[in-house]
Structure 1
Amino acid sequence: MSDTSEHIVIVGAGAAGLMAARELGSAGKRVTILEARERCGGRIHPLPASSFGYPADGGAEFVHGEAPVTRGLAREAGLTVRPIGGAQWSFDGTDFSRENPRDPYDDQLHAVVKDLTDDLTVADFLRRHFAGPEYARLRHAVERMVEGYDAADPERASTLALRDEWMNDGHAKSARIDGGYGGLIDFLAAGCHKSGVAIRFGAVVSAIEDSDGRLTVRGADGAVHVCDRVIVTVPLPLLREIALPAAARAKAAAADDIGFGNVIKILLRFKRPWWRERGGLADMLFLLSDETIPVWWTRQPDQHPVLTGWFGGPRTAELSHLDPQGLIESGLDSLAAIFGRPRETIAQDLIAASAVNWAHDPFARGAYSWATLRTRTAQERLARADGLVLFSGEALYRGRDMGTVEAALASGLETAGMILQG
C-alpha cells in the first residue's frame, strides 16, 4: 500500500535528486521535484547528436573508478559502460612525449604520500617534501593535475583526500557510457514518472520555511509547496541563495568548508581527425600542455573526429570575460600553438562547436566539489538525517571519487535510505 501521507519535496533534478526521488517514489512516498532548469540532469548536459555525430556531453562525461552505483544503474537501464583506451601525451611547448611529467618522480612521490599521517594542503605538502629546484617539474605537474583534474586550489586542497588518486594515477579505470550520461538521466526520470513523482521545471526555489513541523517551499515565481520534508540537492554555491529555517541554515554553513571548483569545457567537431596525421599521435587519448586551454582528449577508441578541451580550477577566472564563442576561439588558438598549424587551417575544418564555462551557469556556478582539510567533518554534518531539511549531492559523498556522477547517485541513494529507515 502506498504511503502518501508524507509529502517530500526535492530541490533539483540532477543525478542526486532523481536518484532519491526514484527510491522514495517506488517506496510509495509522495514526491515532488522542483527543478530550476527546463530539463533534468543538472551538470549532466547532453548535447544534440546532430551537432557532434553522437550524443556528446557538455558536462559530466567519464565514469571514474569502480562506480558501483553508476554501473549498476547502467545495467538496469540496458546501457553499456565502455572502458576508454589510448595513450596520454604531453606537449612541453616544443615536443610531444608519452612521458607524464610526473613519471621520473612517481616512486618518490608515492613513497612520501603513502606514509603521510597528518593532512596538509597540496601546496604545503610540495613545499615541505619537494621544495628544491630539482623538483620544479614535479611541483608543476602535481599543481596542474590538482587544478585541472580535480578543479581544486592547491593552496586549500587536502593531500590525504587526493592520495588514492595519485597512487592510481588519475585516469586509470575511466570509462564512458555509450550514448552519454543523458541515457542514464532519461532512465531515472522515466522511473520517477512511473512511480508517480511530479517533476516541475522552471521552478526556482527562493525559500524554505518551517511552521509547526510543516515546511513551506516558496518559488521565485510565487509558487508555494507545503510538505513534510525537503531534500536540497543544489550545487554548493546555490545553498547561499535559498533562505532556510534557522537549524538548516546553521547546518548549511558547513558547506563553506567544502571546496567547489570550476571547469570550462569546449567540444570541437572537425571534418576529419587531422591530429592523427602527426607521427605517433594516432593512439592519442589525452593531451596535456601549458596552453590557455591546457588539456585535450579524443573519443578513443571511437573514431569521431571530435576534440574536447578542458580547463579546470581557480585559473579559469582568467577567462571569465569570454562568452562561448570567445572560448571556442581560445580553444582553436591553443590547438594551433600545440600542433604548429595555422589557426585558419584548423578553423576551416570545424563543423560544430560548443563551449560552456560552468561558473556562468546560473544554476551551477561551477563544476564540482573537492576536499579541503575540513571537508570530511563538514560532509558528516551536512549528510546527517536530523531535521526536516536534508542535504544531498556529489559534494556530500564521503567515498573516494567525490565530485563525480557516482558521488551524486550514491548520495541521493543514501539520503532516500535514511528517510525510508527513519
Structure 2
Amino acid sequence: MSGTAEHIVIVGAGAAGLMAARELARAGRQVTILEARERCGGRIHALAASQFGYPADGGAEFVHGEAPVTRGLLRNAGLSLQAIEGTQWSFDGTKLSREGRDDPHQAELHAALKDLKDDLTVADFLRRHFADGEHARMRHSIERMVEGYDAAEPERASTLALRDEWMDGGRHTQARIVGGYGALIEFLVAECRRHGVVFRLSAVVSAIEEAGGAVAVRCAGGGGLSCDNVILTVPPPLLREIALPPRAREKAALAADIGFGNVIKILLRFEKPWWRDRAEYLGDLTFLLSDETIPVWWTQRPADHPVLTGWFGGPRTAELSGLDPQALIDAAIDSLAAVFDLPRSDLARDVVAAVATNWAHDPFARGAYSWATPQTRAAQKILARADGSVLFSGEALYRGRDMGTVEAALASGLETAGMILRG
C-alpha cells in the first residue's frame, strides 16, 4: 500500500459499487468509481418524470421482502416506501379471472421441499416428484414462476435456493420507493461526492494489471489509474470481457456457475387508465398473467397513473432477441389487445409515451439479474473472498435469500467494503 491514503478503484456505479464507495470514503479511503455508462445506477434506470407522469423505473422497480439494508438507506435519505395493493388476475386465452392462491397440490409440494436434502435442479425435482398428468398444472405454474419471475432456467436453477420463496410466498411482500429507485441512487451519489469519491463516467474498463505490488486499471481507448485495490461490481457476463491477473481470472471463471437471466421491460403510458373502465372489478388490478407474447403486466396501484408495465423474463426472451424497441412496443400492444379483447388500433392511438428495454441488448448489463444453480453457493464463497488486490462484488455474489435484488447488491457492496476496512 502506498504511503498516502489507500486508493480503491471501483468498477461500476450501480447499487453495489455506490454502496461500497460510500462506506470506504466515509472511512477515509481515497475512492474512484469508473462507470462505463454516462449515468450512475447500472440496472437501476430512472426515467424522466415528464415522460410518464412520475419517476418511473426502466430497470429495477420493487423492494422485496424485509430488505434491511435498503430500508436503512431509505431512512437515511428521508425516502419512504409504498406497499403494493390490489388483486392479481390471469388470462387463460378466453377470459380474465382472479388468480387463485391455493393449489390443491400445495401440501404435497411443501412436503417434498421440506424433505429435500441434496440440491436438485427445478426440472429434476419436478421430474422426480410430480411427473404425472395430475400435477401438470402445478408444474406449469412453477416453471412459469421460475422462468418469468426469477428469470431462471428450470434445467439449471437450484431448488434449494428457491425453496423459501415457494414455502412461504417469498417475495410476495413487495413495495415501491416513493420517487423510484432513482431517488435512492441520487442519494448514494450525493453521499459519495460529499465524502470525496471521484466519478469518471463513460470509462469502459478493459484490463486490470498487477506489477510490483501495485495495481493498474486500464480503460478502452487509453488512460488508466494506479491503485491499491480494485472492486469489480459488473454483471457476471462482463467479467469475461476484462483482462484480469491470473488469480483473479481463475476466480472470475467461477461466475459460470452462477445463473444470469434476462428481462424485457416495457412501459406504456396511456391517456387514461382505460382498464379500470372495462369493468368495476378491474379497478384494483395489480398484476396480470397470461401466455401472450408479453406475459406479465402490472399497474402502479395504489397510485392511479395511467401506466401499464409489461414484463417478459427468463430464457424464452431469446425468442424476441431480434426485435428493436419499437417492435417490442408493438408486441406489447398486441398482447394487451388480445387479453382485453380490444382493437389494437384503439390501444395504439391511446399511447402517450412508451419505453422498451431488452436488458440483454444493454452492452454494460447483458441481462437483468442472477439466480442460483446447485453450484452457485460454492462459487460465491470463493468469489467473495478478499484474498487479493482484485475483489468481486454485486448482487450475483449475495449469499442470502433474495439474490437478484437491489437489496442483494447493496448488501454485497457493504460486505466488500467491510472486508477491505478490516484489512
TM tier, smaller: over 0.9
> Which whole-Å CA distance do the structure 2 matches of 1:400 and 1:102 have between them?
23
Residue 364 of structure 1 and its aligned partner are, at CA, apart by: 0.2
Query: Secondary structure at the residue paired with 2:94?
Result: coil
Residue 276 of structure 1 and its aligned partner are, at CA, apart by: 1.4
> Which whole-Å CA distance do the structure 1 matches of 2:240 and 2:100 have between them?
40
Residue 29 of structure 1 and its aligned partner are, at CA, apart by: 0.3
Residue 168 of structure 1 and its aligned partner are, at CA, apart by: 2.3
Counterpart amino acid of 2:380? Answer: Q
> Which whole-Å CA distance do the structure 2 matches of 1:169 and 1:418 have between them?
33
> Which whole-Å CA distance do the structure 2 matches of 1:251 and 1:313 have between them?
26
Q: 2:176 corresponds to which residue?
A: 176
Q: 2:84 corresponds to which residue?
A: 84
Encode CA deviations 1:8-56: one digit per residue, 9 max, x unaligned.
0000000000000000001000010000000100000000100100000
Mapping 1:150-229, distance limit 5 Å: 150-229=150-229
CA contact (8 A) 1:151 1:262 kept: yes
Mapping 1:27-176, distance limit 5 Å: 27-100=27-100, 103-176=103-176
> Which whole-Å CA distance do the structure 2 matches of 1:368 and 1:231 have between them?
19
CA contact (8 A) 2:217 2:224 kept: yes
Query: Secondary structure at the residue paired with 1:286?
Result: strand
CA contact (8 A) 1:120 1:160 kept: yes
Query: Secondary structure at the residue paired with 1:90?
Result: strand
> Which whole-Å CA distance do the structure 1 matches of 2:235 and 2:255 have between them?
10
Normalized against structure 2, the TM-score is what? 0.98
Residue 278 of structure 1 and its aligned partner are, at CA, apart by: 2.7
Residue 5 of structure 1 and its aligned partner are, at CA, apart by: 2.3
CA contact (8 A) 2:84 2:302 kept: yes
Encode CA deviations 1:324-348: one digit per residue, 9 max, x unaligned.
0000000000001111111111111
Q: 1:243 corresponds to which residue?
A: 243
Encode CA deviations 1:53-78: one digit per residue, 9 max, x unaligned.
00000000000010000000001000
Larger displacement relative to structure 2 (262-271 or 94-103): 94-103
Q: 1:320 corresponds to which residue?
A: 321
Residue 110 of structure 1 and its aligned partner are, at CA, apart by: 1.7
Q: Does structure 1 residue 345 correspond to structure 2 residue 346?
A: yes
Encode CA deviations 1:336-373: one digit per residue, 9 max, x unaligned.
11111111111111111000000000000000000001
Encode CA deviations 1:97-151: one digit per residue, 9 max, x unaligned.
2234862332222222122111100011111111011111111111010001000
Identity in percent? 74
Residue 167 of structure 1 and its aligned partner are, at CA, apart by: 1.5
Distance 1:171-1:410 versus aligned 2 partners, 3 A rule: closer
Query: Secondary structure at the residue paired with 1:82?
Result: strand
Q: 1:372 corresponds to which residue?
A: 373
User: Structure 1 segments of 4 or more deviating over 3 A?
Assistant: none
Counterpart amino acid of 1:281? Answer: L
Q: 2:275 corresponds to which residue?
A: 275
Encode CA deviations 1:223-262: one digit per residue, 9 max, x unaligned.
1100010000000100000000000000111100000000
> Which whole-Å CA distance do the structure 1 matches of 2:409 and 2:8 have between them?
19
> Which whole-Å CA distance do the structure 2 matches of 1:127 and 1:42 have between them?
38
Query: Secondary structure at the residue paired with 2:180?
Result: coil
Query: Secondary structure at the residue paired with 2:411?
Result: helix
Counterpart amino acid of 2:329? Answer: I
Distance 1:212-1:383 versus aligned 2 partners, 3 A rule: same
> Which whole-Å CA distance do the structure 2 matches of 1:89 and 1:106 have between them?
20
Q: 1:384 corresponds to which residue?
A: 385
Larger displacement relative to structure 2 (91-100 or 10-19): 91-100
CA contact (8 A) 1:4 1:28 kept: no
Larger displacement relative to structure 2 (84-93 or 394-403): 84-93
CA contact (8 A) 1:90 1:100 kept: no
Residue 221 of structure 1 and its aligned partner are, at CA, apart by: 1.9
CA contact (8 A) 2:65 2:170 kept: no
> Which whole-Å CA distance do the structure 2 matches of 1:103 and 1:95 have between them?
20
> Which whole-Å CA distance do the structure 2 matches of 1:214 and 1:98 have between them?
61
> Which whole-Å CA distance do the structure 1 matches of 2:308 and 2:106 have between them?
29
> Which whole-Å CA distance do the structure 1 matches of 2:360 and 2:167 have between them?
30
Normalized against structure 1, the TM-score is what? 0.98
Q: 1:332 corresponds to which residue?
A: 333
CA contact (8 A) 1:4 1:29 kept: no
> Which whole-Å CA distance do the structure 2 matches of 1:60 and 1:112 have between them?
32
Q: Which runs of 5+ in 2 are unaligned?
A: none
Larger displacement relative to structure 2 (328-337 or 169-178): 169-178
Aligned residues: 420
Counterpart amino acid of 1:330? Answer: A
Distance 1:100-1:312 versus aligned 2 partners, 3 A rule: farther
Q: Which runs of 5+ in 1 are unaligned?
A: none
> Which whole-Å CA distance do the structure 2 matches of 1:206 and 1:186 have between them?
27
Query: Secondary structure at the residue paired with 2:304?
Result: coil
Residue 170 of structure 1 and its aligned partner are, at CA, apart by: 4.7
Larger displacement relative to structure 2 (389-398 or 171-180): 171-180
CA contact (8 A) 1:295 1:309 kept: yes
What is the RMSD of the two structures over their aligned residues, measured on CA atoms? Answer: 1.1
Residue 383 of structure 1 and its aligned partner are, at CA, apart by: 0.3
> Which whole-Å CA distance do the structure 2 matches of 1:311 and 1:170 have between them?
20
Query: Secondary structure at the residue paired with 1:89?
Result: strand
Query: Secondary structure at the residue paired with 1:307?
Result: strand
Counterpart amino acid of 2:320? Answer: L
Query: Secondary structure at the residue paired with 1:152?
Result: coil
Larger displacement relative to structure 2 (403-412 or 113-122): 113-122
> Which whole-Å CA distance do the structure 2 matches of 1:296 and 1:154 have between them?
22
